[in-house]
Amino acid sequence: MILVKMWDDDEIGGRIFLQVQNLFASAILADQKDKFFIHAFSVMHKLTATKYHLKNYERIEKEQYDRAKRQFKRDPNRTREAFELIFELEAFLFQVKSSLDMLVKLLIPIIGKDVVGTRTYKDEGNHLIKGLTRFKDRPGSNSDAINTLIGLIEANRDAWLKTVVQMRDELNHVKGLSDYRFNPVRLPNGDIGVQKPRFRGMETLDFMRLVYEKNLEYHQDFMVFALAVKAWPGMVVGPEDASRVKAIFNCEAAKYVKWCWKLILPHQTNQA
């Protein structure tokens, strides 16, 4: 199957590639389909880079934790800056922001280039919201679908995205991370234990895993609700049936497909 040959990660492949296949993106976008898939594959590339740095951090943290544990038994007063972990955290946050910059470009084959501000994911999404709000007033635009997309952008901005982008900007443009080290701690039984370096008071790996999952799901939902702006009359986005989509694609990645098209009658309310 082409998905297996192109992408080894089931979740990224399922949430992005299989998801757009399940929504018949090629038929809906017609002559713009090739441009759409170019940007979709760029999105997958960036999401894979984000996961790469997450997994690197996970591996290096374990290696350095074990090393610190041995070292503190010999000399509990000797520590060093965990530079390798700093580099991976910075790269991870950079790729999260970069994935968003690629994500917004999916609107180009749907709405048009620079119609709603599609160069970068500027101002935590607020620039895009303003552009979509203006676009909604154009004759013939799908205002319900645009409102749904705007609501998705606002919800994710407020829940996590604004904070993460600000963290990334601070690390890259204001001040780098410092005093990031493994420290010895005295355990209740008298032994010397190891405290892992923390990011803004948080367990860094837990933070990175949470951001990765939120970002990946946001990319899927953004892509889906962006396609809905171009959907044919009478079609709205609705939840997919897991058994149906598994039968269609017959692969592990299919379990990550969340959305399908639903047909509505004229008297029904247009809801996603």
Q: Is the pTM of this model over 0.85?
A: yes
Distance between CA 200 and CA 202 in Å, rounded?
6
Distance between CA 170 and CA 104 in Å, rounded?
22
Place of tokens 């074990």: 66
* pLDDT category of residue 266 using cuts at 50, 70 and 90: low
Judged against a pLDDT cut of 50, whether residue 271 lies above it is answered with no
103: which 2 tokens? 């994500």
* pLDDT category of residue 228 using cuts at 50, 70 and 90: very high
Q: How many residues does the chain have?
A: 272
Half-sphere exposure of 28 (CA within 13 A, CB side): 23
Q: What percent of the chain has pLDDT over 70?
A: 93
* pLDDT category of residue 268 using cuts at 50, 70 and 90: low
Judged against a pLDDT cut of 70, whether residue 2 lies above it is answered with no
Domain ranges of the chain: 46-238
What pLDDT, on the 0 to 100 scale, is given for residue 69? 92
Please give the average per-residue pLDDT across 116-120, as a whole number. 85
Please give the average per-residue pLDDT across 222-249, as a whole number. 95
Task: Classify burial at 47, counting beta carbons within 10 Å of its beta carbon; exposed 0-12, middle 13-18, buried 19 or more.
Answer: buried
Which residues, 6 or more positions from 251, have their beta carbon under 8 angstroms from its beta carbon? 1, 3, 4, 10, 18
Q: Which of 41-45, 54-58, 184-188, 227-231 has the weakest average pLDDT? A: 184-188
Mean pLDDT of the chain: 92
What pLDDT, on the 0 to 100 scale, is given for residue 177? 86
Place of tokens 């984000």: 50
What pLDDT, on the 0 to 100 scale, is given for residue 5? 44
Under 8 Å between Cβ of 85 and 74: no
